[in-house]
Amino acid sequence: MQLENAVAIVTGGSEGIGRAIAEALAEEGCKVTITGRREGPLRKAAEEIGAEWIVGDVGDEGDAARTVRSVVEAHGRLDILVNNAGFGLFKPLVDTTLEELEAVYHTNVFGPFLMTREAARQFIAQGGGELINIASTSALKGSATRTAYGSSKFALRGMTECWRDELRRHSVRVTLVNPSEVMTEFATKAGSPRERSDNKLRPREIADAIIGVLKIDGRGFVPELSVFATNPF
């Protein structure tokens, strides 16, 4: 697709992978709106990126509808939705509470569902669109302590496959992106801090991969891609 002047929403766009994606899209000439729940960091990131911003919780039905509606009203269309907002929780099964599991699913599963449902209505009406879902290599293989996070990404992968099949006939391209370990604050916030390493991925690698996917001519698309560090050891 032609990215110049394309209208994009990036959820969770104030830091980490989301911010890198928003920056890359803005550099390509996209009209970018980032979302998040904390106004201060969101406003600051938007000013630095040159993006618009909307405070909202992707897992809240009203906020999701308001976000998409506001962008469409401002720009007349929506070309790209990047479902990036998410968080991790790494705990043993026996120590994980139902409330913790529900909180992870609220953002990582219900959030993409709500945002995609609203965006899909606009994509179908205008005859096309780009949906990028940020999952994880944890969506490819289960592992200890990842009952909440890993299963939420498996769920996102499953929903993505359903949406891809359903929306292709409307010229909507649906891509799942599985980053491996990326040097952000994600792991620390999830309760599993990692040592910094120059060999591990940075957010920009994920953003560059997504830009490449979006630039493919509309007659084709990449259904799923995983990004690993070449030599993380």
The per-residue pLDDT for range 29-73, each reduced to its tens digit, is: 999 999 999 999 999 999 999 999 999 999 999 999 999 999 999
Please indicate, yes or no, if residue 202 is contained in any of the structural domains.
yes
pLDDT at 184: 72
CA nearest 13: which of 86, 121, 91?
86
Rounded to whole angstroms, the Cα distance separating 133 from 31 reads 19
The pLDDT-based confidence of 187 (bands split at 50, 70, 90) is low
Here the tokens at position 8 are 């994009």
Domain extent, residue 61, equals: 7-227
Report residue 76 CA to chain centroid gap: 22
pLDDT at 188: 61
Please indicate, yes or no, if residue 232 is contained in any of the structural domains.
no
pLDDT at 122: 98
Please indicate, yes or no, if residue 92 is contained in any of the structural domains.
yes
Write out pLDDT tens, residues 160-185: 999 999 999 999 999 999 999 998 77
Asked whether residue 226 carries a pLDDT value surpassing 90, the answer given is yes
Identify the active-site residue in 149, 154, 163, 186: 149
What total number of domains does the chain contain?
1
CATH number at 13 reads: 3.40.50.720
Please indicate, yes or no, if residue 166 is contained in any of the structural domains.
yes
Residue 176 CA: distances (Å) to CA of 113, 132, 138, 153: 14, 6, 13, 10
pLDDT at 49: 97
Please indicate, yes or no, if residue 73 is contained in any of the structural domains.
yes
Please indicate, yes or no, if residue 77 is contained in any of the structural domains.
yes
Please indicate, yes or no, if residue 185 is contained in any of the structural domains.
yes
Write out pLDDT tens, residues 109-162: 999 999 999 999 999 999 999 999 999 999 999 999 999 999 999 999 999 999
pLDDT at 180: 95
Asked whether residue 190 carries a pLDDT value surpassing 70, the answer given is no
Is 149 designated active site? yes
pLDDT at 182: 95
Write out pLDDT tens, residues 65-103: 999 999 999 999 999 999 999 999 999 999 999 999 999
The pLDDT-based confidence of 217 (bands split at 50, 70, 90) is very high
Please indicate, yes or no, if residue 233 is contained in any of the structural domains.
no
